[in-house]
Amino acid sequence: MKKLLLTICTFLCLLFNAQLDTDHWFAPMASKAGNVGLQGYLYLSTNETTPFNVEIYNNNTLYTTVQVSKGSPTEVVIPNYFLITVDQSDLFTPNSMGMYVKGSKKFFANYRFSLQNHAEIITSKGLAGLGTTFYAGMAPLTGVAYYVNSTIGITATEDNTSVVVSGYNPDVVFSDGSSSPTKTFTLNKGQSYVMDAASTDSSYNLDGLVGAKIEATKPISVTNGNFNGIYTNLNFTNNDVLMDQAVPVDRLGKDFVVVKGNGFCLFRNGNRSGHRNGKQYPINDKRGKFWDYVKCRTILHGSEQ
């Protein structure tokens, strides 16, 4: 028990230190759930006792400057077009979306948004969230509706950044009507690229983007998930916004504390294993392969009986 508590405490310390940083990038996303009642806020906080300035940028243009200090967190209204789009013309082409937040000292930053019936929080991982290789994570969808999709947003932190997205099912039909084994594009600093696949366009879209590989020549920020997603076989009408900031491969760990719930496991490499009560359970799968909650429950948690 002591070893487990120590592991959890160490994990939380590393997590919080990674999120506490001087620079935070947020990549945009595509909503198929519309924008009725949509509102977004950036929440900033720090453990620094001396107040300092934090600058918020969109498309390399200063939006506003605020002050933050310990005991005095700040809430900033963020225009919806910075990070969320329902406009097809914003997709599959470099656009001016995305957000960059910079301070002279380290601080926490998270973007909270809500719309009719739904809400989500995306916590920046700071500079630890930037990298050149990612694997996309989103829910394997179990239901089909016009408001259900899988989406990936990418923001460049430097000029002349070439990006290749590959490793997904080539039969996926993207919302622009295209099907191809790769997506290739170039972005300059502050520019973003958003792609999505609607659940209604093809059965391959239900899980075809899960584990897609994202490679860039320079550091990027990635937001991925479902907006919205249906991920249970118990009720095909329940849905939710399932968005998160991705972690680059070089920041991934080898040991994780898994909390029971309706979710899935995504592997960078094969030949992984889970442990329960000191017993090892092998998971032999290909890179980018995912296991749904039922399989993870059996292997990682033991029998539910």
Tokens of 73: 């967190």
Give the per-residue pLDDT at 304: 35
pLDDT at 216: 98
CA atoms within 13 Å, Cβ hemisphere of 19: 20
pLDDT tens-digit series, residues 95-117: 999 999 999 999 999 999 998 88
pTM equals 0.82
Interval 52-82: pLDDT, tens: 999 999 999 999 999 999 999 999 999 999 9
Compute the average pLDDT of residues 252-271.
58
The residue that leads in pLDDT, 69 or 263, is: 69
Candidate from 131-135, 206-210, 212-216, 271-275 with smallest mean pLDDT: 271-275
Average pLDDT over residues 283-303: 45
Residue 294 pLDDT class (50, 70, 90 cuts): very low
More confident residue, 10 or 40: 40
pLDDT at residue 35 in the model: 87
pLDDT at 239: 80
- φ/ψ of 230, rounded to 5, equals -115, 120
Please compute the mean of the pLDDT values over residues 208-224 and round it to a whole number.
Answer: 96
Quote the pLDDT of residue 2.
44
Q: What is the DSSP string of the chain?
A: -HHHHHHHHHHHHHHHHHH-EEEEEE--EE-SS--TT-EEEEEEE-S-SS-EEEEEEETTEEEEEEEEBTTB-EEEEE-GGGTEE--GGGSSS-BS--EEEEEEEEEEEEEEEEETTEEEEEE--GGGG-EEEEE----------TT-EEEEEEEESSSSEEEEEESS-TT---TTS---S-EEEEE-TT-EEEEEEETTT-GGGGTTTTT-EEEEEEEEEEEEEEEEE---SS-SS--EEEEEE---GGG--S---PPPSS-EEE-SSSSEEEEETTEEEEE---TT-EEEHHHHHHHHS----
| CA quadruple 261, 203, 92, 84: dihedral, nearest 10 | -40
For residue 275, is pLDDT > 80?
A: no
* pLDDT digit string, tens, across residues 18-36: 589 999 999 999 998 888 8
- The per-residue pLDDT for 266 is 52
Q: What average pLDDT does this structure show over 118-137?
A: 94
